[in-house]
Amino acid sequence: MRNRLDLKNILESLYAARSQEHLANDPLSFCHRYQDPRDLEIVGLIASSFAYGNVKIIKKNLAWIFDRIGDSPRLFVERFEPEQGFRLFAGFKHRFNDARDLCALLFACRTMLEQEGSVEGWMLRFHGQGREDLTETLTGYSEAVKSLDLTPVFGAASPPGDSYFPFFFPSPASGSACKRLCMYLRWMVRPADGIDLGIWKGITPDQLVIPVDAHIQRICRLLGFTSRKQADWRMAREITAALRKLDPADPVKYDFSICHLGISEGCDGKDQSKCLACPIAGLCPVGSP
């Protein structure tokens, strides 16, 4: 393994090589269709909530949702009524989430706006400035969202057993890596850099935790950022701690570029032909001679 300075320099080069082609292959691209920060946080929450599974299917289903929501997602959510949603989103399915779950998500967003004026304001209820990271923040946020009265959607305060609405809001308390919520927060909090948006100010970039998907799990293990095998909250914090040594103020800065080695560049940790042009080949045991 090279020394920390070499590693940082290589990751900085990887960060600088991010492209609009990478962005087009990412659910975050839907946020870049809008300009108003009030729209962006709504679009980001919806896009990140469904960011699981095959990327092409994610993008197809998100395009279907946003085509129906229209030009002002914020206004749509403010005026949202579940009965309207059942008609508008009839037949929607994304793996195990259906139209009911989508309507419950939109109704939850409406409730957050009514109570605090923004999703950020609602999340800040559970955030402390002195905290090292988002463990307590996400735990409080997720539990509170799942405790909302969803009677207008489900006919009862809580979702029925066959609803996967709670899947949108995992919690560190259960050990989940909370990949989609961590990704959403990265989009909102990291400084605007052509990829991330930097529209939230109540949470600082140094408090973010890396979103651990299959690509981050594999590549960060190869780079020695974690020795854990299970993609859980402990792994997410361990990888973040390693990245914090490289950039204490912005530890998840490299998430997008590392992740897109897998999403966009095809790294699978096995095919060495992919290593020939890979910028981290000298650091990774798969690509090292």
Task: Check if the beta carbon of residue 59 is closer than 8 Å to that of residue 68.
Answer: no
State what percent of residues in the chain have pLDDT above 70.
90
The angle subtended at Cα 54 by Cα 279 and Cα 36, nearest 5°, is: 85
Mean pLDDT confidence for 9-17: 89
**Rounded-to-10 torsion of CA 168, 195, 111, 89:** -60
Alpha-carbon gap, residue 260 to 164, rounded angstroms: 28
The encoded tokens of residue 177 equal 């890596």
pLDDT at position 71: 96
For 265-286, the pLDDT digits (tens) are 666 666 666 655 666 666 666 6
pLDDT of 1 > 50? The answer is: no
The angle subtended at Cα 247 by Cα 184 and Cα 182, nearest 5°, is: 15
pLDDT of 4 > 80? The answer is: no
Query: Is residue 194 situated within a structural domain?
Result: yes
The encoded tokens of residue 106 equal 């939109």
For 126-137, the pLDDT digits (tens) are 998 788 899 999
Domain that holds residue 109: 1-283
The encoded tokens of residue 171 equal 């919690």
pLDDT of 45 > 90? The answer is: yes
Q: What is the total count of domains within the chain?
A: 1
Which of the two residues, 78 and 287, has the higher pLDDT score? 78
pLDDT of 184 > 50? The answer is: yes
pLDDT at position 269: 61
pTM for the predicted model, two decimal places: 0.92
Mean pLDDT confidence for 239-244: 96
pLDDT of 222 > 90? The answer is: no
For 19-33, the pLDDT digits (tens) are 898 899 999 999 999
pLDDT at position 262: 78
pLDDT at position 151: 98
Query: Is residue 181 situated within a structural domain?
Result: yes
pLDDT at position 76: 98
Q: What average pLDDT is seen over the chain?
A: 92
pLDDT at position 131: 86
Q: Which residues contact 249 (CB under 8 A, 6 or more apart)?
A: 205, 206
Task: Check if the beta carbon of residue 30 is closer than 8 Å to that of residue 66.
Answer: yes
Query: Is residue 93 situated within a structural domain?
Result: yes
Mean pLDDT confidence for 43-55: 96
pLDDT of 241 > 80? The answer is: yes
pLDDT of 34 > 90? The answer is: yes
For 152-177, the pLDDT digits (tens) are 999 999 999 999 999 999 999 999 99
Query: Is residue 288 situated within a structural domain?
Result: no
Which of the two residues, 265 and 45, has the higher pLDDT score? 45
Alpha-carbon gap, residue 14 to 257, rounded angstroms: 6
Query: Is residue 87 situated within a structural domain?
Result: yes
Alpha-carbon gap, residue 283 to 289, rounded angstroms: 10
